[in-house]
Structure 1
Amino acid sequence: MTQPDSPSTQALLFKLLLLRTLVVTVAVAPAIYVDMQLLDVDASHAGFVLGVVTPIVIGGLALVVPIGAVGALLRHAVEAKASPAERLRRLLRLPGVLTFVEAQAGWFLGGIFFNGAIGLALDRPPRVILVGVAVAMSAGLFSAPIMYMLYEKALAAVTLEAFRRAPHERPAGEGLFLPRQSWFLPAIVVSALLITCITSIATLQLRLEKNLSSLADDLELSGQYRGAARVRARIEPLQRDLTLPVAFLGGFAALGAILTAAWAARRLAQGARAVGASLDALVEGRAAPPQWVSTDELGDLSARTWLLYEQLQELPRALSSSAGHLAKAGTRLTEASDQQNRTLSRQASAIHQARTTAQEIQQMSKLAASRAGSVLQVAERAAAMGKLGEESLAGTEQGLDDIRGLTHGLNQQVVDLGTRAREVGRVSEVVKSLADQSHMLAINAAIEASRAGEQGRGFAVVARQMRELADQSIKATGQVRGLLEGMETATGEAVATADKSSAGVEAALVPLRKSGERLRGLIKLTHESAAAVRQIAEAVAQQHAGVDQLFSAVSEMDELMAATLRQLGTTQEAATAVAQATGQVSELAERYVS
């Protein structure tokens, strides 16, 4: 892609400036001539106009200023940062911008400076200066079509390269900067006629005004008799003055219109030939997109033809890809046919082995049915015996539970006996305490009786008897306590023995319960085994039926094998035909892939 300020960009800029200078140089000559006629520049001032004003205006506005303006517009159009689609749009608009903005601005400024400088120097009225500016603008518009087509041709290569990078962007024209043939060609003709009329009328009017004014002055000064002669004398110079400008302007307008129309026709022919060459290449089986891009109807045709080639490029690629897949499929089909042939050969020998194996299976199934019946009977007897064992084990568990209950009740009674023995012990303690107190009272009574002498002798006897009775009570209480302690000890041993018995019963119940659970599990397994044996017997019966079906299937398989071998030959022929068709499709697709 062309980069800003690259050598190719500089060369393109030089080419554009050269074309602009050429067009301006050709178009400025009649404009200068008409302006000099409008400003009434005589021979004495012609040197000043042509030697001083004209070089300055043309040099400044036709050479110096465009270098910067055209260069900036060109660098903006080919800017590398822009997307391909945006770069294409800028390049398509560039000829119109250079022609209808930059160039027309130059003509406008040139008309102002040229006519203004001469008008100020020669003291000409402002309306004459304005008419001169209009003449300059008319010359610019007259040269605009051919300038646009020259710019377009100069930018064709870089524009076409941008279009290759964005082929899906439609270069359709809208507005003044993107011309269409529907209005561009009529505009060329109308502008040529209009500009010729404007310049001719302006020149005739100013020349007529000048000569008639001179004629009126002469009539006022000379008299009525000589007026006719002077009028005739003035008409002849007027005719001479008008002949050369009209012929010059008419010839220039005709030549410009002819050149513009010829160039436009040549441009249309080039575009048509580019599209035609592309279509010829398509007929011959070659991929050659049209080498033409523009914003008019011909550009639309070229763009659509380009899109057609893009789609045609995808079609051969798809055909080529499909042909490749089809070739691989044909190869795999051939390999599968060979593999199937080998498989069928092995299958024939396998069928005989299958028949022999089926007979062995039939014999084994009969034996299995007989053994399955025996196993079923054994399983049923084992289930019955397991049921009896489960009932016996349940009775044993119940008896141990009863023994555990009795042991627990005995333990409770012994505990109650110990409790009551302790209560009796507490009562004996109370009795002993009372005996001790009685003994102390007896001692006190004996002391008091001895103090009383003879009078307390009878009381002393009673006190002695009470003391002896208290001693006997104390001894009896001690004996009762000893008996209670022995009873408490025996009760504790009885409780401990009862606890051991209860623990022994509990310990005996644990393995008994586990044995019961295992026995129940064994009974469950026995039932499941019986059910499985029944299923085995049913399966053996079904197996007998399956063996019969197997014999029938082996016979059918033999017939199918023969038919398959015949079809296998047909498949190989089809694979060969597919390979040939694939080669033809690939060859056809390669012709249209560039």
Structure 2
Amino acid sequence: MSIGNRVLLGFASIILLTGILGFYSLQQMDAVRTTTETILSRDIAALRQIQTARDNQYHMREARAAVVIRSLTGGNEAAVTPLIATWRSVATQTEASLNELLAAMQRREAVALSPDRMVAWRDVAQSVNQAVAVVRQIISQSNLQFQAVRTGDATGIVSAGEPLTALNEEFERAMQQMDQALDRAIRIGQERINSFYNGSQLSVLILLGGALLLAIVAVVLTRRSITRPIGVFMDFLEGIGRGDLTGTAPSSGRDEFARLGATLNSTVEGLRQLAKQSHAATENLNAAAAEIRASTQQQAASVEEQLAAVQETAATVDEITHAGAQVGKRAQEVIASAQATAQTSAAGVRAVGDTSRAMDAIREQAEAVAGNIVALSEKTQAIGDIISTVNDISERSHLLALNAALEAAAAGEHGRSFAVVAAEMKTLADQAKDATGQVRSILGDIQRGINSSVMLTEEAVKRVAAGKERTDTTLATINEITSRVQEGVHTFQQIIASTNQQQLGIEQVMTALQNIRQASQQTAVSTRQLDSAAGNLAGLAQQLVTFADRYRL
């Protein structure tokens, strides 16, 4: 099987397991939803039917009470008859609703989802039977009471009503038992829903675990079927990298690895043939390189002897040229130094001018700083006046707090809260007084610093003025030095002109010797390059031999 089919099979198995898991989960969710809807619909319908029966019995009791009240308040038979007809209609509805409820409970008992719930529905049906029997007794006893109503027998009406009270209480007890049984059925239904949900959840988790396990197995098998052949090929390629051309790659089978192994085997065979041919060619190249190097070494020796003779002749002329050049060089250096001195003097003049202007600017700025410091001192004095005012306010507040405390003490219990306010006022006055004292101290330090700054600024202005006078004197001195340096430059230029005329003849002789020496040097360099190339060729041939020997054939 090919690698692509293996990977496809692994992914297909994982997708299939995921689909099965999803389908089963949907089925379980649908089953939980169906069970929940069934239980809830049955329980809600039962609650509604019970409430309808209770309401009908209540209406029946109200209709009977209306008949009794109308007859006891002097109503005739014509007035009572419609009320009795209403009661009979309500009684029929009550009995019919109870019978319908009984039939519904019996049907639920037959299709109950669990034995416990079947027992609960059976208990509800028994309570409904009791309620039906009680309602029938109520109807029978109410008919007796209505007969007394028709005859106008008030004593019979009252005596017939006493059993009805007991029957109503018995009906209520039956309804309470019915409610209890229905609550038990509802609770059992909820437990059934929870149990079914937990079972579905557990089954889905088990199926999910199994799917994960199968997916892991599929992934491991797929990985093993791919990584193991890759490891074999990696070992084979590492051996080739070390120079081992004796091995072969596995090429059995029909997958991509078999085709890769066949391709690698053909490639290694080509490398074997290439290594054999390279080994033979490098041995021949090594022998030829040795012969070329021996010939170039002999030629280099003769060229070196010719170059030595030319260099001895050129050395004598070079000494003469060197002496003349030294004289000209010294004169040039003197001129360059003099010109540099003149340029430096000019730069010094500009620097002194800039310094003078900078001192004027510093003086103006120092005067401006002094003015700002004086203004700041005036503002500091104004702040001191404000602090004095705040201090007076705090002292008056302190006195006011003391008076308030005295008034509060005179007022007794009624002035206790006022005494607290007075104490707070005193505390605030003390804090304000302390703060003004601290601010006053800080302002005193600031005022002293400002006075010191004013004095230092005035001293700086005086020193700037003195520096300005000294700068003017320095500028005059530098101008005088510059003029004398220019005179020296003109003198040395005349000396250099005469020296250059003497150097012209020597340079012509030196040019001829330089041409001869350069030709000899070029010949020597070419010979040395040829010898070096021969040496490099021999080294390259030896490297090729060593490289060819790396491969084991």
Q: Which has the higher contact order (CA 8 A, sep 6+)?
A: 2
Higher-Rg member (1/2): 1
Tell me which interval the TM-score lies in, with the shorter structure as reference length: under 0.3
Using structure 2 for the length normalisation, give the TM-score.
0.25
Q: Which has the higher helix share?
A: 2
Using structure 1 for the length normalisation, give the TM-score.
0.24
